[in-house]
Structure 1
Amino acid sequence: MTQPRPSLRIANCSGFYGDRLSAAREMVEGGPIDVLTGDYLAELTMLILWKARQRDPQGGYAVSFLAQMRDVLGSCLERGIKVVVNAGGLNPAGLAAELGELAALAGLAPKIAYLEGDDLLPRLPQLRAAGERFAHLSTGQPLADAGVEPVTANAYLGAWGITEALRAGADVVICGRVTDASLVVGPAAWAFDWALDDWDRLAGAVTAGHIIECGAQATGGNYSFFTELDHPVHPGFPIAEMYPDGSCVITKHQGTGGAVTIDTVTAQLLYEIERPSYPNADVIARFDTAVLAQDGPDRVRVSGVRGEPAPDTLKVCLNYRGGYRNTAAFVLTGLDLDAKARFAQAALLDAVGGRDRFAELDIRLDGSTASDGTARLVVTAKDPDKERVGRALFTAIAGTGLSSYPGFHMEQASPHPTEYGIYWPALVWADAVHAEVVLADNTRISVPRPPVRPHVVSADVPADPAPSMPGPYVSVPLGRIAGARSGDKGGDANVGLWARDDLAYTWLRGYLDVERLRQLLPEAAELAISRYELPNLRALNFVVHGLLGDGVAASTRPDPQAKSLGEYLRARPVDIPEALLTDRS
């Protein structure tokens, strides 16, 4: 482009595969935008798409994207709105072909490009022979030592393929596995003609991309203080109004539900992160340098983000088949709930032949102190043998029905188990991955790689203790003065907490250390926990390592993605200085 534009309005219309179908139409028709983006992929989604491709070899992409394009493709072409999505999943070429057919039927002729190079599955033997270990990021175990065969293996590509496609005139860019933020970084680099080493500008765009990638979570969805919102239902999807210096304003269409405030943006910045240095394929963004300012109603300016050179490795998402799982829930009512739970567990183990009957058997009691006299004993069995956790388990449970605890009944039980997969996160050298843009005429454009430097993860340095605050103290839920947002990072869970003013942050920073978090989250008592500070956001971020086991698809927790972890923590009573509670009731 010869004349960089003054700003670029990049809208999101999907935060996951299954998000609000009408969002694309709402964003295109609701006001001016320049780019429509959608994020459809997660680690679990890649496994879902693999299963879809087993049923239909021509599939493997997010079919909901096609339904959205039926609504808006014509309007996008008419108004010059570019469309950039990762809906291609495991088959970007297939989705591009399908979209071309859909467009032709409507009398449209968009220029469609797609990105290739993220799928490493066919190259795994070659890459391993060349020395790639694909060591598990949490355990360090090399893939070769695990004795498993991946069914998916996708590197997280960066933004420059999107940029090259737009430079080549594409109206629609379909990606497979790119980093979520790349959907924003790529169009911004195209519009403002950034260079491969514009670290601070790129980092600002990564920050914007991270904020809007999960749709309405930036505009009041899943928000701790939702009761303060005038219109929390049906929030509008977010827009990142990007500027040439890498700063942005997060906003939404006028008149839509939800809100864009410093708090809603802070919440999303803390979502599913680890260290404040946030590695992306093209740059490392320092989230701890971000400065947020309210820029008017439903407008939050994000500026000051510093960037560091791109890492010399790319993250790889591998999945392999784990076996079969089945879950049963025993409902316990009335008196002696703990005793009834012990009885139910003993009867179950007697009926199935003991714990060793299964590869894994998880039994947990939910709500044993429930005030309404009701609790649930949830049993999850996992095993490579489908029959063992299916019909055999169901028959064993049914056989205890008339000889179990008083009031026995089941809330969930089925003879049909489900297959699950296991997520294996790893790294690959960036120069081993070769991305290409494929245009409609089959022209291929090699994607440039940014200059890199070795990404050395520094050891965690304990922060200086914050000064204690004078009493008196009052025992109230932590959420009276702190918001929270939590999520999954493979087998780990993160929970970010933020305070709403400097005084509350001073107390929060001094109070909430790793040991106190262990006390508040009993299930994390024996797990490793990392703690990070983001003072510009008045925030702390904790990573609880191993809380989710082998990841969302294999986890036996009732909340396998740790979405409720932050709200559980906010409900825990703590001793808070009474002075902080003024005007917070």
Structure 2
Amino acid sequence: MREMIAGGELDYVTGDYLAELTMLILARDRAKSPDRGYAKTFLTQVEESLGLALERGVKIVANAGGLNPAGLAAAVRTLAERLGLAVNVAHVEGDDLIGRAGELGFGSVLSANAYLGAWGIVDCLNAGADVVVTGRVTDASVIVGPAAAHFGWQRDDYDALAGAIAAGHVIECGVQATGGNFAFFTEIPDLLHPGFPLAEIAADGSSVITKHAGTGGLVSTDTVTAQLLYEVGDARYANPDATLRLDSLSLSQDGPDRVRISGVRGEPPPPTLKVSLNSIGGFRNSATFVLTGLDIEAKADLLRRQLDAAVTVKPAELEWTLVRTDHPDADTEETASALLRCVVRDPDPANVGRRFSSAAVELALASYPGFTTTAPPGEGQVYGVFTPGYVDAADVPHVAVHADGTRTDIAPASETLPLEPVAEPSPPEPFTAAATRRVPLGTIAGARSGDKGGNANVGVWVRTDDQWRWLAHTMTVEKLRELLPETAELAVTRTLLPNLRAVNFVIEGILGQGVAHQARFDPQAKGLGEWLRSRHIDIPEELL
């Protein structure tokens, strides 16, 4: 935060602190004490930055309030008083629906938070707030709010609002927009210390994504494309204030480390708000066995049968995964070894605790040759389950609470538009070539993947029009299932985004019940796109 405020001209510094997993962590924190439930790291950053922000007239807007925005606002005031600073701190609340979970049909959950929009932030800023903290607003709302307040946008300025949503979606994950986690990472200068992105937003909602001068990393149409494809669904990207049409925007290089986002169209928001629901799923434990050398499959089979017989009280879930990291005739023991992982889950901690751990350990002298584990099995640990819910926007309070305690109720959107799939555009003319070469898809294509609850998305893009003509016809749902066999039995949808030369896939259920469920060894699907890029495919030689 201090780097951004000190590094160059800035009107607002914003931050998104609330990943789906974070909400579960904060819910468990609040369960220990009602005074907790917000992101304490925010206070550390504010302590370093608040004096400089006030001196330079930079306002701070963040959703770090989590499940306790009022508590965080009070903590910021206490901090400012200790620092001898006069500061106007406001907060936004109403998203926390835990007290009404039963009434709203969400069942027994640990947390239930609706994704609010930007207008509570707008009200706080218009009333003179220097710092605005919120609970669960959408990631982009902390950017949309300052822009709407600055330009005086109205609630039906959908194109402008959608433009700010696009800018917010690009910068919400920090240096992912300046080269972090980027498919073509070897092209990025100075990834040791990449600069954070900033958005210069104009009155019409168009924007330029850039970064402070002299910082590392890169802002290019490719780095911005990668972030636009991150954790999205179809061509409609819904927010509580407007729905962004991802298929409308265009990107252009506007100078070194400057990318312009233009042509954005927006629509009225949907009539419902998404709700983040977290609950305790039960208890889990795991053991990872190292299988070295010959007969890997037979060793794995023996251990499975032995452990199954030794665990007399079967847990509700027992999953085995054999990871063939071994190589024939390997010159190190590590590269001669495969990993066999066993994960157990059960509502009763006794069924996945010592009962499971002891059964695994007691096989140590009676199983396959070379028996060893990566770590001793321990006690069962609690795990969470994320579930998305939906509620009529009119049923959710949205309240701006000002520094003097006055409260402003924010009305829900008066105009809404239910979400419907967008008709797929006609693909471009296919690219045909006589000669092809079998190489990794990532030779020409970038990808970015991520989680949305139990689903995952993989966005794939290319850099030239001819490559796009090939990609649009080649990367079908059937081809994705062929390249990623783990998706073969899952529902997959595809969206073409011609302006980005991109195709986006949403894979349903591949992450089980969300990141805390740990259904895969990559529980947030962050590496799914890189797996896809590594698969070999026939590409026309002219495109290489």
1:111 aligned onto 2:88: yes
Whole-angstrom CA distance in 1 between matches of 2:248 and 2:56: 36
For residues 84-99 of structure 1, the aligned pairs below 5 Å read: 84-99=61-76
Answer whether contact 1:338 1:368 (CA < 8 A) is retained: no
Q: Which position in structure 2 is the counterpart of 1:266?
A: 225
Secondary structure of residue in 2 paired with 1:187:
helix
Whole-angstrom CA distance in 2 between matches of 1:520 and 1:100: 54
Q: Which position in structure 1 is the counterpart of 2:8?
A: 31
1:410 aligned onto 2:373: yes
1:479-521 deviations in Å (ceiling 9; x for gaps): 0000000000110010000001111111111111001100110
Q: How far does residue 204 in structure 1 lie from its aligned partner after superposition?
A: 0.1
1:203 aligned onto 2:162: yes
Q: How far does residue 426 in structure 1 lie from its aligned partner after superposition?
A: 1.3
Answer whether contact 1:466 1:509 (CA < 8 A) is retained: no
Whole-angstrom CA distance in 2 between matches of 1:176 and 1:413: 39
1:577 aligned onto 2:536: no
* Aligned equivalent of 2:263, options 297, 301, 304: 304
Whole-angstrom CA distance in 2 between matches of 1:350 and 1:466: 59
Which amino acid letter does the alignment assign opposite residue 575 of structure 1? Answer: D
* Aligned equivalent of 1:477, options 440, 461, 464: 440
Q: How far does residue 257 in structure 1 lie from its aligned partner after superposition?
A: 1.3
Whole-angstrom CA distance in 1 between matches of 2:456 and 2:102: 32
Whole-angstrom CA distance in 1 between matches of 2:352 and 2:15: 38
For residues 348-363 of structure 1, the aligned pairs below 5 Å read: 348-353=307-312, 357-363=314-320
Answer whether contact 1:270 1:496 (CA < 8 A) is retained: yes
Secondary structure of residue in 1 paired with 2:100:
helix
1:339 aligned onto 2:302: no
1:3-48 deviations in Å (ceiling 9; x for gaps): xxxxxxxxxxxxxxxxxxxxx1111111111101010002111110
Cα distance, 1:336–1:368 mapped onto 2, change above 3 Å = farther
Aligned length: 538
Q: Which position in structure 2 is the counterpart of 1:430?
A: 393
1:366 aligned onto 2:323: yes
Whole-angstrom CA distance in 2 between matches of 1:119 and 1:219: 33
1:241 aligned onto 2:241: no
1:52 aligned onto 2:9: no
Whole-angstrom CA distance in 1 between matches of 2:423 and 2:514: 24
Q: Which position in structure 2 is the counterpart of 1:75?
A: 52
Q: Which position in structure 2 is the counterpart of 1:521?
A: 484
Q: Which position in structure 2 is the counterpart of 1:14?
A: none
Contiguous gaps of at least 5 residues in structure 1: 1-23, 134-142
Q: Percent identity?
A: 54
* Aligned equivalent of 1:192, options 151, 154, 163: 151
1:282 aligned onto 2:248: no
Whole-angstrom CA distance in 2 between matches of 1:463 and 1:365: 42
1:175-220 deviations in Å (ceiling 9; x for gaps): 0000100011000000000000000000000000000001110010
Contiguous gaps of at least 5 residues in structure 2: 329-334
Answer whether contact 2:424 2:496 (CA < 8 A) is retained: no
Secondary structure of residue in 2 paired with 1:310:
coil
Cα distance, 1:290–1:454 mapped onto 2, change above 3 Å = closer
* Aligned equivalent of 1:318, options 277, 284, 296: 277
Whole-angstrom CA distance in 2 between matches of 1:460 and 1:297: 36
Q: How far does residue 418 in structure 1 lie from its aligned partner after superposition?
A: 1.5
Whole-angstrom CA distance in 2 between matches of 1:489 and 1:263: 23
1:440 aligned onto 2:369: no
Q: How far does residue 370 in structure 1 lie from its aligned partner after superposition?
A: 4.0
Secondary structure of residue in 2 paired with 1:401:
coil
Q: How far does residue 373 in structure 1 lie from its aligned partner after superposition?
A: 2.1
Answer whether contact 1:362 1:556 (CA < 8 A) is retained: no
Whole-angstrom CA distance in 2 between matches of 1:316 and 1:466: 41
Higher deviation after alignment, 418-427 or 209-218: 418-427
Q: Which position in structure 2 is the counterpart of 1:5?
A: none
Answer whether contact 2:235 2:422 (CA < 8 A) is retained: no
Answer whether contact 2:321 2:340 (CA < 8 A) is retained: yes
Whole-angstrom CA distance in 2 between matches of 1:488 and 1:533: 19
Q: How far does residue 462 in structure 1 lie from its aligned partner after superposition?
A: 8.2
Cα distance, 1:466–1:490 mapped onto 2, change above 3 Å = farther
Answer whether contact 1:160 1:449 (CA < 8 A) is retained: no
Cα distance, 1:375–1:463 mapped onto 2, change above 3 Å = farther
Whole-angstrom CA distance in 1 between matches of 2:317 and 2:462: 40
Whole-angstrom CA distance in 2 between matches of 1:471 and 1:55: 66
Q: How far does residue 463 in structure 1 lie from its aligned partner after superposition?
A: 5.2
Answer whether contact 1:197 1:451 (CA < 8 A) is retained: no
Higher deviation after alignment, 115-124 or 409-418: 409-418
TM-score by length of 2: 0.97
* Aligned equivalent of 1:294, options 228, 233, 253: 253
1:263-322 deviations in Å (ceiling 9; x for gaps): 000000000000111000000001111110111111100011100011111111111111
* Aligned equivalent of 1:229, options 188, 202, 206: 188
Whole-angstrom CA distance in 2 between matches of 1:439 and 1:304: 36
* Aligned equivalent of 2:382, options 410, 419, 425: 419
Which amino acid letter does the alignment assign opposite residue 68 of structure 2? Answer: N
1:505 aligned onto 2:464: no
